[in-house]
Amino acid sequence: MLKLSLDAIEIIDAIAQAGSFSGAAERLHKVTSTISYSVARIESQLGVELFHRNGPRVQLTPAGAALLEEGRWLVRAAADLESRLKRVATGYESELRIAHDSLFATAALLPEVIAFESLDCGTRLRIAAESMTGTWEALRDNRADFVIAAGEGPGGGGYRASAFGRVGFVFCVAPDHPLAAIDRPLAAEDLVPHTAIVVADSARLLPPRTVGLLSGQRRVTVPDMTAKIALQRAGLGYGFLPEPLAAGDLANGTLVARQVTEPKPDETFWIACRPGEQGKALEWWWDRLGGRAVGDLLDRQAGSAVRNPVAESRTR
């Protein structure tokens, strides 16, 4: 009889990612005592210690790391098998994993989620936010089936993509920030003494993107655009913001725009998936969003418009 289940691997994975039993319990919507008991039971059955305990923090032992490396592959393989079987039977995937760029909030997809759930097709949705190259990496590494990604995808192809809109950016600071008092286009030497607020690229393996940073630039790195706007509004630093999301703050004066000698070019967004793996759920999302643009999503957050490009579908 097997001593290790897929549920056990998922528990170990959650603990490794969270760094604690309590963090894993929160991720898995369980109580901490259940996680602790499960780990003790797994270790007893296998006869190996999987975690070094250091107070509330835990760390994988070499045996635990080896188990998790192979175990993650088993979980992915089981999930792929489940999806393939369900697609054979109904045409719908058992689960659809969507990753979107953190420039916009997951809540912007609420109308699509409601419409999809009303199909009652049995496909579970799993939606995650990534940043910049990290969104493309999620598709490449099979952590996502469908993505809304910023910028060009990584070289080598292997994905189907369609243009999803262009977003313009404006350089913003709080009205009491020193840069707000300079009444001319800001040059690099004006920016260097001040802190830049930047969104972290969530790529794990692909080279991360850095946008608009100067060499040696002081910076505060945040996980998403919402946090970036909040810190800039508080006067902690400067940076480029999407025009639709900055419009409200610019109108009410909580942020001011300044010209710069090196403006940030518009960013093209894409919807993308891996070719040849589309079930009915993925095609529903492709058709639903393919007739829209990233500006529609930003409009839901900010109530302002962004330019819509002529959609260009392609397989790369």
- The full set of domain ranges for the chain reads 6-74, 88-162+268-315, 167-257
Return the half-sphere exposure (C-beta side, CA atoms, 13 A cut-off) of residue 78.
11
Q: Concatenated DSSP letters for 181-220?
A: G--SPBPHHHHTTSPEEEEPP--SSSPPP--SPPTT--EE
Residue 152's contacts (CB-CB under 8 Å, 6 or more residues apart) are 268
Determine which of 74-83, 132-141, 267-276 has the lowest per-residue pLDDT on average: 74-83
pLDDT-derived band at 304 (thresholds 50, 70, 90) equals very low
pLDDT band at 301 (very low <50, low <70, confident <90, very high): confident
In whole angstroms, give the CA distance from residue 241 to residue 285. Answer: 27
pLDDT > 70? residue 139: yes
Q: How confident is the model at residue 300 (pLDDT cuts 50, 70, 90)?
A: confident
Give which of 1, 13, 3, 2 is closest to 47, Cα–Cα.
3
The candidate with the shortest Cα–Cα distance to 79, out of 15, 149, 10, 14, is 10
Strand order, beta sheet including 169-173: 239-242, 169-173, 256-257
Helices (H), 50-203: 62-90, 110-117, 133-140, 188-191
Q: Is the pTM of this model over 0.75?
A: no
> Which tokens hold the place of 87?
């697609």
Span 56-72, average pLDDT: 89
- What is the pLDDT averaged over residues 101-111? 90
pLDDT band, very low/low/confident/very high, at 282 (cuts 50, 70, 90): very high
162 forms beta bridges with 271, 313
The reported pLDDT for the residue numbered 239 is 94
Is 87 in a helix, a strand, or coil? helix
Element (H, E) at 282: helix 280-290
Amino acid at 312: E
Q: Is 114 exposed, middle or buried (0-12, 13-18, 19+ CB in 10 A)?
A: exposed
Buried b (16+ CB within 10 A) or exposed e, 149-164: bbbebbeeeebbbbbb
CATH architecture of 88-162+268-315: 3-Layer(aba) Sandwich (3.40)
Over 60: is that where the pLDDT of 306 sits?
A: no
- CATH class of the domain at 167-257: alpha beta
- Tens digits of per-residue pLDDT, 226-265? 999 999 999 999 999 999 999 999 999 999 999 999 999 9
Rounded-to-integer distance, Cα 48 and Cα 43, Å: 5
User: Mean pLDDT lowest for which of 136-140, 216-220, 310-314?
Assistant: 310-314
Confidence band (pLDDT; 50, 70, 90) for 205?
Answer: low
Helix H, strand E, coil C: the string for 283-304 is: HHHHHHHHCCCHHHHHHHHHCC
Assess contact for 47 and 13: CB atoms under 8 A: no
DSSP per residue, 222-256: ESSHHHHHHHHHTTS-BEEEEHHHHHHHHHHTSSE
One of 3.30.930.10, 3.40.50.300, 1.10.10.10, 3.40.50.620 is the CATH number of 6-74, namely: 1.10.10.10
- Pick the residue with more confidence: 152 or 172? 172
**Beta-strand relationship, 256-257 and 169-173:** antiparallel
**Residue-wise pLDDT tens digits, 36-55:** 998 998 888 888 899 998 88
The DSSP bridge partners found for residue 272 are: 147, 161
Domain 88-162+268-315 matches domain 167-257 at the CATH topology level: yes
pLDDT in tens, 154-170: 777 778 999 888 899 99
Residue 199 · residue 132 · CB < 8 Å: yes
pLDDT at 169: 94
Mean pLDDT of 22-45: 89
